[in-house]
Amino acid sequence: MREYQLKYGCNPNQQPARIYRADGGALPFEVLNGRLGYINFLDAFNAWQLVQALKQMTGLAAAASFKHVSPAGTALGLPLGERLKKACFVDDLAGLDDSPVACAYARARSADRLSSFGDFIALSDPCDVVCAELIAREVSDGIIAPAYDPEALMILCGKRKGGYAIIQMDPGYAPPEMEERQVFGLVFAQRFNDAQIHEDLLRQVVTRHKMLPEDARRDLLLSLATLKYTQSNAVCLSLDGQAIGIGAGQQSRVHCVRLACGKADLWYLRQHEKTLNLPFLPSVGGPARDNAVEAYIQQGAVAFSQGRWQGLFSQEPEDFTREEQEACIAACRGASLASDAFFPFEDSILRAHDSGVSFVAQPGGSVRDQEVIDCCDRLGMTMALTGLRLFHH
């Protein structure tokens, strides 16, 4: 197939729309089910590049949950502890421990569940039955993977009344050296961004604190790889092999950090005993549950007592006080934060420290680099200058 007719472009009024290779060659993918639009493919191809990069970098299965051409979550296929399984709502999923690709998606999906609603999924490895069973119970628009177990494909084809978008990607496809895009009838051409994310980027540790454990290195590299495919400005916090907070598409660096750290704070609080033990009725569906969890953390049990969430719980939840939340977040340390461009002021570092960030990677190049480094020194944080900017638009 050399051309695919899209359902429509960015919006339904933007028709006709199609996808084809500039060199006229065969398309490197096959649509196994559903009909896709312009944004579906933008999500799919950006997410595919990201999980392929993570797989190449770590040798582990990887997954990404994309929305509007930025990741809501990315993760590696590491095992989940019992608390994390409960926080990801997969503690009842049989066979999860034996499926690295399902572990990766469980982590990626649960980093920011509200943003992942209606996501496009990318898997670095073939989709197995366990992963398909997990996807089947989430609200999702489509998936791209190198292959599908036959039974897994049957499960996925049953989603969205049979219209779930399923792409099988050729893992051997490599893009040309130059890429082009049109804006307002004008053609832009640039070299394809083939910059590699690797450990050498973390060699230049500029703070007094030089400690950079293996887990922190892995998480910094995961964050950097994630930023390469995230709309700029962008910042990513990672911990334990998964992104826990992504701030994308902001005009200021500090707003990226505030957004990413706010999501990371929610991630910590979702693993608190009070949140894990919310008395949901068995009939409560995933989207209602996800909204209620976030409202409970942000507004407290008073939201229930006022009737906003009646019908979801078997009894009134115990209040989760601001003091308890602050203590929970303060106890969390060891997160890794990466930025796609330099920090112009120390305000971003101060905010990151409040959300448990201990390790930082950024390109450097600001006239205030030393002020930022000094701030890290005061706070006991480790910072590496990568020298590599990762803008993505």
pLDDT of 108-160, one tens digit each? 999 999 999 999 999 999 999 999 999 999 999 999 999 999 999 999 999 99
Point out the catalytic residue in the list 13, 161, 210, 393: 393
Within 158-279, where are the H helices? 214-227, 253-270, 273-276
- The tens digit of pLDDT for each residue in 356-369 reads 999 999 999 999 99
Segment 235-260 shows an average pLDDT of 96
Domain boundaries along the sequence of the chain: 3-174, 179-269+329-385, 277-319
Asked if 67 is an active-site residue, the reply is yes
Q: The domain 179-269+329-385 is classified under which CATH number: 3.40.50.12160, 3.40.190.80, 3.40.140.20, 3.90.1140.10?
A: 3.40.140.20
- The tens digit of pLDDT for each residue in 263-313 reads 999 999 999 999 999 999 988 888 889 988 998 998 876 666 666 677 888
- pLDDT for 286 equals 86
Asked if 85 is an active-site residue, the reply is no
- The tens digit of pLDDT for each residue in 149-197 reads 999 999 999 999 999 999 999 999 999 999 999 999 999 999 999 999 9
Structure-token match 């490895």, residue found: 125
Point out the catalytic residue in the list 33, 40, 46, 67: 67
Point out the catalytic residue in the list 33, 233, 263, 274: 233
- The tens digit of pLDDT for each residue in 209-239 reads 999 999 999 999 999 999 999 999 999 999 9
**DSSP readout, 284-305?**
--HHHHHHHHHHHHHH-THHHH
- pLDDT for 305 equals 65
> What tokens appear for 56 in the block?
């190449």
- Residue 188 neighbours by CB distance under 10 Å: 9
- pLDDT for 380 equals 96
Average pLDDT value over all residues in the chain: 94
Point out the catalytic residue in the list 7, 68, 86, 255: 68
88 within 8 A of 80, measured Cβ to Cβ: yes
- pLDDT for 304 equals 66
**pTM value?**
0.95
H or E segment to which residue 353 belongs: helix 347-354
Least confident of 41-50, 93-102, 290-299: 290-299
Instruction: Spell 85-109 as b/e; 16+ CB within 10 A means b.
Output: bbbbbbeebeebeebbbbbbbbbbb
| CATH topology for the 3-174 domain | Cytidine Deaminase; domain 2 (3.40.140)
- pLDDT for 23 equals 87
Q: At 62, is the pLDDT very low, low, confident or very high (cuts 50, 70, 90)? A: very high
- pLDDT for 64 equals 98
- In the chain, % of residues over pLDDT 90: 89
- Answer yes or no: same fold for 3-174 and 179-269+329-385: yes
Asked if 353 is an active-site residue, the reply is no
pLDDT at residue 317 above 90? no
82, HSE (Cβ side, Cα atoms, 13 Å): 1
Asked if 233 is an active-site residue, the reply is yes
